[in-house]
């Protein structure tokens, strides 16, 4: 019975770990995100969105309006790229909140956001924790 309970508990731990890994998808840089867009949608953009620009969602709405004509790969990539950009933005704006405690603990006297970041990056304890992960997700390590 004790053994079985131990196995059961072990399974739960493994499942939780697995879920945590799945839930925390890696973010990618803005450059990588729009490179995917250029690769998979470049020819559709040139064909259907001539004269339109990347800014203010114009390429996005053009591709969406022409959904029946653009390649299926492009439609999938477009949605992924928008999600990737959002995830990176969310990671970058949550940095200050997630790292607040570590900043107070390890980099209290450091001035300037850039210096605070290099201070955090040097602290081993930070690297192992939530703040370290936030820095990776923001693309700053």
Partner 1 sequence: MKRIQFKALLTIGLMLSAGEGVAQQISDMQLVRTLGRVENAAPAIDVALLVEEATASAGKGVANLPNWQKLSKLSQLILDIEFENDSVAIEPKSYRTVGLIADALHHPNLRRYKFLVVGHTSSTGDAQHNLKLSAQRANAITEALSTTFAIAPDRLYSIGVGEEWPLDAANLKAPENRRVQLINLGLVQ
Q: Is 109 in the site for partner 1 (CB under 8 A)?
A: no
What is the per-residue binding string for partner 1 in 60-79, x denoting contact by CB under 8 A? --------------------
Q: Rounded to the nearest 10 degrees, how much is the dihedral formed by the CA atoms of 87, 137, 100, 105? A: 170
Answer for the pair 26, 139: CB distance below 8 angstroms, yes or no: no
Nearer Cβ to partner 1, position 15 or 93? 93
Least Cβ distance, residue 6 to partner 1 (angstroms): 33
| Other CB atoms within 10 Å distance of the CB of residue 68 | 6
The rounded distance, in Å, linking the Cα atoms of 53 and 125 is: 44
Q: Is 123 in the site for partner 1 (CB under 8 A)?
A: no
Nearer Cβ to partner 1, position 37 or 126? 37
Closest CA to 34 of 67, 9, 60: 60
What is the per-residue binding string for partner 1 in 31-60, x denoting contact by CB under 8 A? xxxxx-xx--xx--xx--xxxxxxxxx---
The secondary structure of 21-55, three-state, reads HHHCCCCCCHHHHHHHHHHHHHHHHHHHCCCCCCH
Least Cβ distance, residue 128 to partner 1 (angstroms): 14
Which parts of this chain interact with partner 1 (CB under 8 A)?
29-35, 37-38, 41-42, 45-46, 49-57, 85, 89, 92, 95, 112-114, 116-117, 136, 139-141
């Amino acid at each position: 019975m004790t053994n079985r309970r131990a196995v059961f508990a072990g399974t739960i731990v493994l499942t939780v770990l697995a879920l945590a890994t799945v839930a925390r998808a890696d973010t990618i840089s803005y450059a990588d995100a729009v490179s995917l867009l250029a690769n998979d949608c470049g020819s559709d953009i040139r064909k259907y969105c001539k004269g339109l620009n990347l800014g203010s969602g114009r390429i996005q709405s053009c591709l969406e309006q022409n959904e029946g004509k653009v390649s299926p790969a492009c439609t999938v990539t477009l949605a992924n790229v928008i999600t990737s950009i959002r995830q990176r933005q969310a990671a970058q704006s949550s940095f200050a909140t997630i790292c607040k405690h570590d900043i107070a603990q390890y980099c209290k006297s450091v001035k300037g956001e850039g210096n605070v970041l290099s201070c955090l990056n040097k602290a081993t304890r930070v690297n192992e924790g939530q703040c370290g992960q936030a820095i990776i997700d923001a693309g700053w390590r």
